[in-house]
Chain A
Amino acid sequence: MNTKTVFYITGKIIITVSVLMFLPVITAICYNEIHSLLSFLYVIVGGFAVGFVLTFLCRKKDGVLYAKDGFIVVTLAWIASSVLGAMPFVVSGEIPSFTNAFFETVSGFTTTGASILTNVEAMSKSMLFWRSFTHFIGGMGIIVFVMALIPAVSGRSIHILRAEMPGPTVDKIMPKAKDTAKILYLIYIGLAAAEAIMLLFGGMPLFDSLVHTFGTAGTGGFGIKANSIAGYSNFCQWVIAVFMVIFGINFNVFYLLLIKRTVSAFKSSELWTYLGIIAASTGFICLNIYSTYEKFSDLIRDSFFQVSTIISTTGFSTVDFDKWPTFSKALLLLLMVTGACAGSTAGGIKISRVVLLFKIVLNRLKLLLHPRAVCTVKVDKKTVDPDVVSGVTVYAVLYFVCIIAIFLILCIEKSFDIESNLSATLACFNNIGPGLAIVGPTASYAGYSALSKWVLSVAMLMGRLEIFPILLFLSPSAWKKAG
């Protein structure tokens, strides 16, 4: 392993995160929160110190990153950012326990939105801002952000992009990784700005609309009110619901629209499957909960909002869906697993993988009927590389193995019921946030023990980085020099 380059990049990332902490500092100044302001400044100084020492000790001119190093850099960077990001909460004493603060920050960076806070409204504004801002950073990726800013460490930077960007394959949309990262961030920031303006237009205060935009853009879901979005106007609820769907779409689609290749943008079968699933689920849930609503517009809005919040793995809520009938809850649990499109900021297995898995199964069935048949898996009229096919099947198996393992650990710990534990596992692993029963939209993860919180933190990281980087990080052979 190329230890020096790996730690050099980690150092750079620590510095970047420290710089980004100046934004909550500004918030603290605006709202006159002296105590939070000082806490942030302490952490920023500490972050700079660690970051500069690391980059200084590990500076080296021609560091080459191999595939293995890419995975390790990504994992290390995410852990380092989470530890650093948790410090303001601990230093200020707003979340005194490190375990809780770490859980909260991991949940922020991985855009999960699972919270251990029982009373959100008691937090200071700047802490709430930072908490939501971690969604925005983590959504597109910390390293992608750093790559857009600093010169490429080496030509092999694709290994880092690949490890951090969700989806079965990573396509560059520009020849250079740096330019690709820049374009993605421009689209990301542009869409977020559009949402913030619409929310302001809908009468939401500036602070609230910024915080909710961060939550939507990163598909995170930290709210600042006990009842999440339910207290805002219907218009704002619609805006957020629609933008949650938008941020669940593959960003390549927006790029193609941007360069006016509309036809190829709308040719993607993943996009249509995604929209189809949303429409169908909304319909089914409407039918299921029809009796409890008086106004049709409320019914549609609530169903659509809940479906889009779960499928895009955001985790806002406008109603307590834990009180919905079992069929609707089961449907939402399924949506947790599928997630949204690859190449978006969402979590879950990703629609494109689900589509591929179904096609693989159909192919297998065909092969059983016609043993001599030659079948290739095709998506968008293009043959899928056999490597990608086997990669997707392996991922699916690994995905369920991880879920089972985490679920079992949670079950050993506490005497919560199966529904809570299973939904907590799914909600964390797929980066959604709220689950059902004890961890439902109105409750929090505060009841879990420290061990469970650590396990769930790892689960969130695994879900965000798509399992492999974390597994490789934990395997001893990745750390051997000759391994």
Chain B
Amino acid sequence: MNIIISGYGKIGDILIRNLTEEGHNIVVIDKDSYVLTQATNLYDVMCVCGNGADYDTLMNANVKNADIYIAVTGSDELNMLGCFLARKLGAKHTIARIRTPEYNDNNEGFNFLKQQLDLSLVINPEQLAAKELFNILKFPSAVNIEHFARRKFEMVEIILKSDSVLNGMSLIELRKKFSENFLVCVVRRGDTVYIPDGNFRLQAGDKIGLTASPAEIQKLLKKLSILKKKARNIMILGGSRTAYYLSRLLISSGNNVKIIEKDKKRCEVLSSLLPESTVIFGDGANQEVLMEEGLLSMDAFISLTDMDEENILISSFASSHNVSKVISKVNRTALSNLAEKFGLDCIVSPKKMISDVIVRYARALQNTEGSKMETLYKIMDGKAEAVEFVVEDSFNHVNVPLKDLSLKPDTIIGGIIRGRKAIIPSGNDVIMPNDRVIVIVAGQNMDDLSDIIK
């Protein structure tokens, strides 16, 4: 597909990387010719220097034949105007990043805006990040958690600590020992991602992804004695937009939120917007401030400042003081790998989330025939994917027992949802029309359910 990306910033970069890997033709528009040179040096893309909402620039970028126009510049208004013009000039779909709370908070106004500008998709990174953080906090035992089929099915990622009972156990033994219905779909060891078979033995330090229904997961984690109690008292460092959205979600579900922000003005704004929270004016990099505000009695600590480095350092301070759940926001991929070496397992990257959403959107557009892709998550730090499909009649392997299907290597069916029932598939299960099938693949892309068959 022909995709135009307006704005080469951090999000633009991660989008280009993911979308070029998917094989799309990409044109990048930016005002700064210097960053464009970097873009051409790094990726196989064409660059047009100019304003993303300017007629000539858009024409030079061949907007007439564009399938998607994605506006991710720093300015919401420029994004909206660019999308509007691109749509009028012939782009088939438009995606805008709009993050000012005024445009987003009021649902009626937001829908009006989206409709009038004919936007296919609006992305708000901060809101997405807040929702993701909220999900993690609801379930603090996992490093990461993804939902499928409207929460009927979940995939949780956990890291095996050195004292875990699972260490050294093969997956067959695991099945025998625990009566719960779950499946270990994917394991990351070092830099390699494995789709394990029954003889695979787990080790300390592995990051494993397992699928099951939410109730089964709770039971399993209780047995493994890694179930942490739900967070009640939460400290957020940095009063960014993400912090605001997250606090709103947390407060509405009855948690105590304490926000530490070093800008006085921002503190005042936050305290007027979020009267139920405690807003502290202070520098979170100062350990004294953190201790004084009761870091030790917190259930969770979330570092959301704009600086990746600051987030990593302060989070590792917090986790060294045994705060039970520490989450840090790290946008740069290179740094998030480094952060893991610091012992921080729970890392959230808003930029990556947006990229997931857009990649999923682009893939769903491309795949108009065949089974519909419902959700797509990049898991295990982008090295594997979990995709949910709705099985259409056109899928020609229905009612075949799974053991008779020859799947591609590094592919596994993680779950089947039939009506309200979640099935952990065994060799005798079959795929039926209208099922939702969750497929986990490592090191390749899935467009259609038929892609899993050799």
24 A-B residue pairs with CB within 8 Å? A67-B41, A152-B44, A155-B20, A155-B42, A155-B44, A156-B43, A157-B44, A158-B40, A158-B41, A158-B44, A159-B41, A172-B40, A172-B46, A172-B47, A174-B25, A174-B46, A175-B2, A175-B25, A175-B26, A175-B46, A176-B25, A176-B45, A177-B44, A385-B33
Q: How far is the CB of A58 from chain B (nearest CB, A)?
A: 22
Q: Is B27 an interface residue (CB 8 A)?
A: yes
Give chain A residues whose Cβ lies under 8 Å from the Cβ of B40: 158, 172
Q: Which residues in chain B, 19-76, are within 8 Å of chain A measured between CB atoms? A: 20, 25-27, 33, 37, 40-47
Against B, the Cβ 8 Å flags (1 = close, 0 = not) of A219-243 are: 0000000000000000000000000
Q: How far is the CB of A35 from chain B (nearest CB, A)?
A: 45
Q: CA A178 – CA B2 in complex, angstroms? A: 15
Which chain A residue has the least Cβ–Cβ distance from B4?
Answer: A175
Give chain A residues whose Cβ lies under 8 Å from the Cβ of B42: 155-156
Q: Is A179 an interface residue (CB 8 A)?
A: yes
Interface centre among B40, B43, B45, B47 (most CB of A within 10 A): B40
Q: How far is the CB of A331 from chain B (nearest CB, A)?
A: 38
Give chain B residues whose Cβ lies under 8 Å from the Cβ of A174: 25, 46
Which chain A residue has the least Cβ–Cβ distance from B43?
Answer: A155
Give chain A residues whose Cβ lies under 8 Å from the Cβ of B25: 174-176, 179
Against B, the Cβ 8 Å flags (1 = close, 0 = not) of A164-184 are: 000000001111111100000
Interface size on B, residues (CB 8 A): 15
Which chain B residue has the least Cβ–Cβ distance from A158?
Answer: B40
Q: CA A176 – CA B2 in complex, angstroms? A: 11
Q: CA A260 – CA B251 in complex, angstroms? A: 60
Interface centre among B33, B37, B41, B42 (most CB of A within 10 A): B41
Give chain B residues whose Cβ lies under 8 Å from the Cβ of A387: 37
**Which 4 residue pairs spanning A and B have beta carbons closest together?**
A175-B25, A175-B46, A155-B44, A172-B46
Against A, the Cβ 8 Å flags (1 = close, 0 = not) of B261-296 are: 000000000000000000000000000000000000
Chain B: interface secondary structure? mixed
Give chain B residues whose Cβ lies under 8 Å from the Cβ of A158: 40-41, 44
Evaluate contact between A176 and B44: CB separation under 8 angstroms: yes
List residues of B whose CB falls within 8 A of some A CB.
2, 20, 25-27, 33, 37, 40-47
* Further contacts, 11 of them, CB under 8 A, given A152-B44, A157-B44: A158-B44, A159-B41, A172-B46, A172-B47, A175-B2, A175-B25, A175-B44, A175-B46, A176-B45, A178-B44, A385-B33
| A156 touches which of B2, B27, B37, B41 (Cβ 8 Å) | B41
Give chain B residues whose Cβ lies under 8 Å from the Cβ of A156: 41-44
Which chain B residue has the least Cβ–Cβ distance from A170?
Answer: B40
Give chain B residues whose Cβ lies under 8 Å from the Cβ of A152: 44
Give chain A residues whose Cβ lies under 8 Å from the Cβ of B45: 175-176
Q: CA A387 – CA B37 in complex, angstroms? A: 11
Give chain A residues whose Cβ lies under 8 Å from the Cβ of B43: 155-156
Give chain B residues whose Cβ lies under 8 Å from the Cβ of A177: 44
Give chain A residues whose Cβ lies under 8 Å from the Cβ of B26: 175
Q: CA A273 – CA B302 in complex, angstroms? A: 63
Give chain A residues whose Cβ lies under 8 Å from the Cβ of B2: 175
Give chain A residues whose Cβ lies under 8 Å from the Cβ of B37: 387
Q: CA A152 – CA B42 in complex, angstroms? A: 13
Q: CA A381 – CA B433 in complex, angstroms? A: 61
Q: How far is the CB of A147 from chain B (nearest CB, A)?
A: 10
Q: CA A158 – CA B45 in complex, angstroms? A: 9
Give chain B residues whose Cβ lies under 8 Å from the Cβ of A67: 41
Q: How far is the CB of A377 from chain B (nearest CB, A)?
A: 14
Give chain A residues whose Cβ lies under 8 Å from the Cβ of B44: 152, 155-158, 175-178
Against B, the Cβ 8 Å flags (1 = close, 0 = not) of A365-395 are: 0000000000000000000010100000000
Give chain B residues whose Cβ lies under 8 Å from the Cβ of A179: 25
Which chain A residue has the least Cβ–Cβ distance from B21?
Answer: A155
Interface centre among A155, A158, A175, A177 (most CB of B within 10 A): A175
Which chain A residue has the least Cβ–Cβ distance from B25?
Answer: A175
Q: How far is the CB of A369 from chain B (nearest CB, A)?
A: 29
Q: How far is the CB of B45 from chain A (nearest CB, A)?
A: 6
Q: CA A176 – CA B27 in complex, angstroms? A: 9
Q: How far is the CB of A380 from chain B (nearest CB, A)?
A: 13
Q: How far is the CB of A119 from chain B (nearest CB, A)?
A: 48
Give chain B residues whose Cβ lies under 8 Å from the Cβ of A155: 20, 42-44
Q: CA A156 – CA B37 in complex, angstroms? A: 12
Q: CA A385 – CA B36 in complex, angstroms? A: 12
Q: CA A172 – CA B20 in complex, angstroms? A: 16
Against B, the Cβ 8 Å flags (1 = close, 0 = not) of A132-161 are: 000000000000000000001001111100
Q: How far is the CB of B284 from chain A (nearest CB, A)?
A: 38
Evaluate contact between B41 and A175: CB separation under 8 angstroms: no
Give chain A residues whose Cβ lies under 8 Å from the Cβ of B27: 175
Q: CA A179 – CA B2 in complex, angstroms? A: 13
Give chain A residues whose Cβ lies under 8 Å from the Cβ of B33: 385
Q: CA A302 – CA B150 in complex, angstroms? A: 80
Against B, the Cβ 8 Å flags (1 = close, 0 = not) of A245-262 are: 000000000000000000
Q: CA A124 – CA B20 in complex, angstroms? A: 49
Give chain B residues whose Cβ lies under 8 Å from the Cβ of A176: 25, 44-45
Q: How far is the CB of A392 from chain B (nearest CB, A)?
A: 16
Q: How far is the CB of B112 from chain A (nearest CB, A)?
A: 34
Q: How far is the CB of B6 from chain A (nearest CB, A)?
A: 14
Q: How far is the CB of B351 from chain A (nearest CB, A)?
A: 19
Q: How far is the CB of A381 from chain B (nearest CB, A)?
A: 11
Against B, the Cβ 8 Å flags (1 = close, 0 = not) of A196-217 are: 0000000000000000000000
Q: CA A385 – CA B40 in complex, angstroms? A: 16
Interface centre among B26, B42, B44, B47 (most CB of A within 10 A): B44
Q: CA A316 – CA B47 in complex, angstroms? A: 39
Give chain B residues whose Cβ lies under 8 Å from the Cβ of A173: 46
Q: CA A342 – CA B41 in complex, angstroms? A: 21
Q: CA A344 – CA B108 in complex, angstroms? A: 56
Interface centre among B2, B20, B26, B46 (most CB of A within 10 A): B46
Q: How far is the CB of B238 from chain A (nearest CB, A)?
A: 34
Q: CA A159 – CA B44 in complex, angstroms? A: 10
Q: CA A176 – CA B25 in complex, angstroms? A: 6
Q: Which residues in chain A, 349-370, are within 8 Å of chain B measured between CB atoms? A: none
Give chain B residues whose Cβ lies under 8 Å from the Cβ of A172: 40, 46-47
Q: CA A156 – CA B46 in complex, angstroms? A: 12
Interface centre among A155, A157, A177, A178 (most CB of B within 10 A): A155
Q: CA A385 – CA B37 in complex, angstroms? A: 11
Q: How far is the CB of B124 from chain A (nearest CB, A)?
A: 28
Which chain A residue has the least Cβ–Cβ distance from B44?
Answer: A155
Q: CA A277 – CA B280 in complex, angstroms? A: 73
Q: How far is the CB of B276 from chain A (nearest CB, A)?
A: 48
Q: CA A157 – CA B25 in complex, angstroms? A: 15
Q: How far is the CB of B67 from chain A (nearest CB, A)?
A: 12
Q: CA A158 – CA B42 in complex, angstroms? A: 8
Which chain A residue has the least Cβ–Cβ distance from B17?
Answer: A155
Q: CA A50 – CA B445 in complex, angstroms? A: 35
Q: CA A51 – CA B386 in complex, angstroms? A: 41
Q: CA A175 – CA B25 in complex, angstroms? A: 5
Q: How far is the CB of B245 from chain A (nearest CB, A)?
A: 34
Q: CA A178 – CA B25 in complex, angstroms? A: 11
Give chain B residues whose Cβ lies under 8 Å from the Cβ of A159: 41
Interface centre among A157, A158, A179 (most CB of B within 10 A): A158
Q: CA A152 – CA B2 in complex, angstroms? A: 18
Give chain A residues whose Cβ lies under 8 Å from the Cβ of B41: 67, 156, 158-159
Q: How far is the CB of A267 from chain B (nearest CB, A)?
A: 12
Q: CA A179 – CA B20 in complex, angstroms? A: 14
Give chain A residues whose Cβ lies under 8 Å from the Cβ of B47: 172
Which chain A residue has the least Cβ–Cβ distance from B33?
Answer: A385
Q: How far is the CB of A5 from chain B (nearest CB, A)?
A: 16
Q: CA A385 – CA B20 in complex, angstroms? A: 27
Q: CA A159 – CA B37 in complex, angstroms? A: 11
Q: CA A155 – CA B26 in complex, angstroms? A: 12
Q: How far is the CB of A407 from chain B (nearest CB, A)?
A: 35
Which chain B residue has the least Cβ–Cβ distance from A383?
Answer: B33
Which chain A residue has the least Cβ–Cβ distance from B47?
Answer: A172
Q: How far is the CB of A175 from chain B (nearest CB, A)?
A: 4
